[in-house]
Amino acid sequence: MNQRLKQLAEQASVSSLWMSGTDQQGNPILEKFAQLIVKECVAIANRQFSAATGLDDRDCLTAQQMKQHFGVEE
């Protein structure tokens, strides 16, 4: 599990739910939920980049940074 996602779970007071996974890697359902939120944010950043520049919606720098920060792979 990405350390930043773990920190956010602690801030949201759901760390006990987060760490209820069998392998102590995190609850797979909550982890998937967090990853889907990050992917939605990445998609928004890419659409905004594409609209502003007229370029295709390949990952803009902001989207790449978000995925790296949260450890989310496509």
Residues of the chain with pLDDT under 70: 1, 18-26, 57, 74
Confidence (pLDDT) at 7: 83
Q: What is the average pLDDT score of the chain? A: 82
Residue pair 62/45 in contact (Cβ under 8 Å)? The answer is yes
Give residues with Cβ within 8 angstroms of 74, minimum separation 6: 39, 67
pLDDT value of position 44: 92
pLDDT, position 26: 66
CA dist 15 and 44 (Å) reads 27
